[in-house]
């Protein structure tokens, strides 16, 4: 299994993503600087990590979404590759149009950083299959702009198509319908605000994030 992590100026979870992918796959992820614009041939999974790309100038993910590497990301998605965007990565994927909706300021206007309970909305996806039989998990959140919004018809469609991956149990940011993670129409792109790469064991309190990566390994 071949993986890559895209690194933007201001990314701060790229090393966490690297460690998680290395631990679960047993191989070393390729760290791709955004200006290189090249995702290695044969890559199965690309991870767009959390952080504050370009210092969140304009709006979160907006400048990163116009980086040279984004055309490669679209091509990767078009040929059936998997993409996982976490926190700022989720914001970037929405800005690129790879996922519907947008992320805006938390309803409280405060930065939220804590272990967060999530409900498994669907375990029938390449990103969530390892959670089959589980109702709730704990994965940390750390964001100021995690409030997921979309038009009502978009929300109705992604719900009817089973594309809501996770919901908050006790909404920390005001996200529409408690949505914490969404999946693309083809089922190969997922964005989520909580950080599964920060819950894989070791120094963290809990391993509930492993399921996201183990699901992808199984799917690929």
- Condensed to tens digits (0 to 9), the pLDDT of residues 73-98 reads 999 999 999 999 999 999 999 999 99
pLDDT value of residue 160 = 96
pLDDT at 165 over 80: yes
- CA–CA distance, 137 with 183 (Å, rounded to integer): 18
- All structural domains of the chain: 3-219 (3.40.50.880)
CB 6 within 8 A of CB 45: no
pLDDT value of residue 140 = 96
Closest CA to 50 of 113, 100, 109, 125: 113
Tokens of 212: 């996201």
pLDDT at 8 over 80: yes
Quick one: average pLDDT of 1-25? 96
pLDDT at 205 over 80: no
pLDDT at 2 over 90: yes
**Which secondary-structure segment (H or E) carries 182?**
strand 179-183
Catalytic residues: 87, 195, 197
Quick one: average pLDDT of 43-49? 98
- Banded pLDDT at 99 (limits 50, 70, 90): very high
CB 199 within 8 A of CB 207: yes
């Amino acid at each position: 299994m071949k993986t890559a992590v895209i690194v933007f100026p201001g990314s701060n979870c790229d090393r966490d993503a690297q460690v998680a992918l290395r631990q679960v796959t047993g191989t070393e992820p390729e760290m791709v600087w955004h200006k290189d614009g090249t995702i290695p041939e044969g890559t199965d999974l690309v991870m767009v990590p959390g952080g504050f790309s370009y210092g969140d100038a304009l709006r979160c993910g907006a400048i990163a979404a116009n980086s040279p590497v984004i055309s490669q990301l679209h091509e990767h998605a078009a040929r059936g590759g998997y993409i996982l965007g976490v926190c700022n990565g989720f914001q970037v994927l929405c800005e690129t149009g790879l996922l519907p909706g947008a992320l805006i300021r938390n309803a409280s206007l405060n930065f939220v950083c804590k272990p967060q309970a999530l409900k498994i909305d669907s375990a029938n996806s390449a990103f969530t299959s390892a959670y089959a039989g589980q109702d709730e998990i704990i994965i940390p959140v750390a964001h100021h702009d995690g409030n997921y919004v979309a038009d009502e018809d978009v929300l109705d469609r992604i719900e009817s198509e089973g594309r809501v991956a996770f919901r908050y149990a006790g909404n920390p940011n005001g996200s529409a319908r408690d949505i914490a993670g969404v999946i693309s129409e083809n089922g190969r792109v997922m964005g989520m605000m909580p950080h599964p790469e920060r819950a894989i064991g070791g120094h963290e309190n809990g391993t509930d994030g492993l399921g996201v990566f183990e699901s992808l390994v199984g799917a690929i």
